């Protein structure tokens, strides 16, 4: 019989253990790095988000939560000083009165005053104080006598602690040894191990990474690299980002690599793209919106289409006493008319047509256009169907070309007059400051004006811009 290789048996045993182990439950943590700037802030925010998410999983009750962090923090603060402070704060005030009564009794004995009752009062106060101190020490909550930071999360080190932090829980040893990052990373690592021991796995959602500064973006990726090391339990990351923006941030953060033109992958234009290729294992692009998704967006944003116009209460009904008890204000009636305009079939079809014509077919861009259009409707109190359709083009201009609006000011009528004449159009956009590099934006603007009533759109743009 042929002998089975040793490495094959080891792989088989490792696979069998993985199959026998139950599937870990996810602990989902949502983290927004754009709120933070430095490496310390990124790790502090990450640790807080992780602790808040892990609390219902492994610390479901307040007592368990306080006991967990006190046990963790008590290992690295001055325990002798902590014990002295705990005894001092659990010391009953009655014992102080008993000491005062003992001094008065001694004074009375020396002066031969008849205050024998003071000895009994002192003895009573001493007994009550001793009992009160014992009860507080045995049955009282430690969080009632010690700083609350010991029970809420990892304590901060000396330099990064606030002025309100109690001096006795600051951590000069950890600060002198490795600093704040070591402290927080150690707490996060231990928390992940505790989650793993109870069959939980971390899933970290990092959104809006493209909003961050280049330095913060680099700090987040460095933190992810720490999580992916062998010292940390297995974790999963989901990043929401614009690939081109984040790649440029990485290039700026590591400018020396970009300047050296070091690109390890032939199909990547910059080192930042290669970096993302290595760290992101599964890249998923959001699909472009379709006609069905546009209809769903319009339905969710504006409501259903009203095929029949809404009718107001007739004069006969008003005279017969069927009117509401409180009259509707003029502003409320205007708002209802605007809502009716938003749900008009002609307006809805025009919106659908313009949304399909957008170069960037994404829900974010389409919703931005709808928000701006709704704002313009209410600002102008427009209740006219035709004007509402023209405002769609005005909102599209504001959303697609915000960087060019200062050039187009006072030039809208000239653009409307020149939209069908190539020579006049070229002269007009040159007069407005469009350079050769802006030719694509000018061509797209001309296409939009051709698709609508250019003079009417120009008139509205002059009012709004």
Contact indicator for 241, 209 with CB cutoff of 8 Å: yes
319, part of any domain = no
pLDDT (0 to 100) of residue 165: 47
**Is there a single domain that holds both residue 334 and residue 391?**
yes
- Assess whether 61 and 96 both reside in one domain: no
Which pLDDT belongs to residue 52? 82
Q: How far apart are CA 430 and CA 437, in angstroms?
A: 12
In the chain, the number of structural domains is 3
Ranges 98-112, 166-180, 268-282, 379-393, most confident: 379-393
**pLDDT on residue 287:** 66
Same domain, 223 and 340: no
Does residue 10 carry a pLDDT above 70?
Answer: no
Cβ 440 vs Cβ 388: under 8 Å: no
Q: Are residue 29 and residue 133 in the same domain, yes or no? A: no
State what percent of residues in the chain have pLDDT above 90.
15
As a whole number, the mean pLDDT across the chain is 77
In a shared domain, residues 217 and 343: no
On the question of pLDDT at 264 being above 70, the answer is no
What's the pLDDT at 346?
92
pLDDT (0 to 100) of residue 312: 42
- 44-to-40, 182, 183, 216, 420 alpha-carbon distances in Å: 6, 11, 10, 13, 59
pLDDT over threshold 60, residue 170:
no
- Domain co-membership, 178 together with 223: yes
The answer to whether position 410 is within a domain reads yes
- CA dist 201 and 300 (Å) reads 35
Instruction: Tell me, yes or no, whether 193 lies in a domain.
Output: yes
- Residue 25: domain span: 20-77+155-241
Q: What is the pLDDT of residues 321-352, one digit of tens each?
A: 445 444 456 667 777 888 888 889 999 999 99
Query: Are 35 and 178 members of one domain?
Result: yes
Q: What is the pLDDT of residue 423?
A: 92
| pLDDT for residue 17 | 57
pLDDT at 447: 93
Residue 121 pLDDT class (50, 70, 90 cuts): confident
Does residue 428 form part of some domain?
Answer: yes
Same domain, 63 and 183: yes
Q: Is residue 287 part of a domain?
A: no
For residues 416 and 446, what is the distance between their CA atoms, to the nearest angstrom?
A: 9
12 lies in a domain? no
Alpha-carbon gap, residue 104 to 108, rounded angstroms = 6
- Pair (358, 452) in one structural domain: yes
Residue 376 clears pLDDT 60, i.e. is over it: yes
HSE of 36, CA atoms in CB hemisphere, 13 A: 23
For the stretch 235-250, pLDDT in tens is: 888 998 888 889 898 8
CA distances from 128 to 100, 118, 169 (A): 14, 15, 31
What per-residue confidence (pLDDT) applies to 305? 82
User: Is there a contact between 239 and 280 (Cβ–Cβ < 8 Å)?
Assistant: yes
Q: Is 121 exposed, middle or buried (0-12, 13-18, 19+ CB in 10 A)?
A: middle
Dump pLDDT digits (tens) for 73-87: 777 666 677 777 777
Q: Which of 88-92, 158-162, 367-371 has the lowest mean pLDDT?
A: 158-162
Asked whether residue 314 is assigned to any structural domain, the reply reads no
Residue whose C-alpha is closest to residue 347's, from 305, 288, 287: 305
Render pLDDT for 280-322 as a digit per residue (tens, 0 to 9). Answer: 888 877 766 777 778 887 888 888 887 654 444 334 334 444 4
Tell me: do 113 and 228 sit in the same domain. Answer: no
Inter-residue contact 217 to 253 (CB < 8 Å): yes
Taking only the tens place, the pLDDT of each residue in 178-221 is: 445 666 777 788 888 888 888 888 888 998 888 888 888 888 88
Q: In which residue are the tokens 């031969």 written?
A: 112
Res. 230: pLDDT tops 60: yes
pLDDT at 257: 67
Residues 335, 431: one domain? yes
pLDDT tens-digit readout, 266-281: 677 888 888 888 888 8
Examine residue 33 and state whether it is found in any structural domain, yes or no: yes
Res 160: pLDDT: 34
pLDDT for res 393:
93
Among the three residues 144, 163, 191, which one is the final residue of a domain in this structure?
144
pLDDT class for 397, splitting at 50, 70, 90?
A: very high
What's the pLDDT tens digit per position in 125-145? 778 878 877 777 777 777 777
Residues 6 or more apart from 366 whose CB is under 8 A from it? 289, 294, 297, 355, 358
Residue 203 β-bridge partners: 28, 236
Which pLDDT does position 349 carry in this prediction? 92
Assess contact for 147 and 168: CB atoms under 8 A. yes
End-of-domain residue from the set 144, 170, 199: 144
Q: What is the pLDDT of residue 138?
A: 74
Q: Are residues 344 and 383 in the same domain?
A: yes
Q: Residue 159 above 50 pLDDT?
A: no
pLDDT score of 422:
92
Higher model confidence: residue 171 or residue 392? 392
pLDDT at 450: 93
């Amino acid at each position: 019989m042929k002998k089975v290789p040793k490495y094959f048996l080891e792989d088989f045993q490792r696979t069998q253990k993985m199959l026998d182990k139950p599937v870990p439950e996810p602990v989902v943590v949502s983290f927004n790095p754009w709120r933070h700037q430095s490496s310390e802030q990124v790790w502090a925010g990450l640790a807080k988000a992780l602790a808040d998410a892990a609390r219902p999983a492994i610390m479901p009750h307040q007592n368990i939560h306080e006991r967990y962090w006190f046990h963790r923090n008590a290992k690295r603060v001055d325990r002798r000083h902590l014990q002295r402070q705990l005894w001092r704060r659990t010391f009953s005030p009655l014992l102080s009165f008993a000491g005062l009564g003992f001094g008065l009794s001694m004074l009375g004995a020396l002066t031969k005053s008849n205050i024998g009752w003071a000895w009994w009062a002192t003895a009573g106060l001493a007994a009550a104080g001793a009992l009160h101190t014992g009860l507080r020490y045995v049955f009282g909550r430690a969080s009632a006598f010690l700083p609350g930071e010991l029970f809420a999360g990892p304590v901060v080190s000396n330099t990064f602690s606030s002025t309100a932090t109690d001096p006795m829980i600051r951590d000069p040893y950890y600060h002198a040894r490795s600093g704040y990052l070591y402290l927080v990373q150690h707490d996060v690592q231990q928390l992940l191990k505790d989650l793993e021991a109870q069959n939980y796995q971390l899933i970290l959602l990092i959104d809006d990474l493209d909003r961050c500064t280049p330095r913060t973006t680099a700090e987040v990726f460095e933190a992810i690299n720490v999580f992916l090391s062998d010292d940390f339990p297995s974790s999963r990351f989901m990043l929401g980002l614009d690939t081109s923006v984040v790649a440029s941030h990485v290039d700026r953060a590591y400018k020396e690599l970009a300047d050296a033109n070091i690109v390890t992958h032939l199909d990547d234009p910059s080192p930042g793209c290669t970096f993302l290729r290595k760290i992101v294992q599964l890249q998923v692009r959001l699909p472009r919106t379709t006609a069905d998704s546009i209809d769903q967006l319009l339905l969710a944003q504006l409501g259903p289409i009203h095929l029949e116009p809404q009718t107001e209460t007739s004069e006969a009904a008003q005279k017969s006493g069927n009117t509401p008890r409180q009259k509707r204000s003029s502003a409320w009636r205007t708002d209802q008319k605007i809502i009716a305009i938003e749900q008009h079939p002609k307006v809805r079809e025009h919106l659908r047509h313009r949304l399909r014509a957008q170069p960037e077919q994404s829900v974010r861009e389409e919703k931005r256009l709808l928000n701006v259009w709704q704002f313009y409707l209410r600002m102008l109190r427009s209740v006219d169907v035709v004007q509402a359709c023209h405002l769609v083009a005005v909102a599209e201009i504001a959303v697609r070309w915000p960087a060019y609006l200062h050039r187009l000011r006072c030039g809208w009528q000239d653009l409307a007059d020149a939209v069908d004449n190539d020579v006049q159009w070229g002269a007009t956009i040159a007069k407005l400051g469009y350079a050769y590099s802006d030719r694509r934006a000018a061509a797209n603007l001309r296409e939009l004006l051709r698709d609508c009533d250019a003079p009417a759109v120009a008139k509205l743009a002059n009012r709004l811009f």
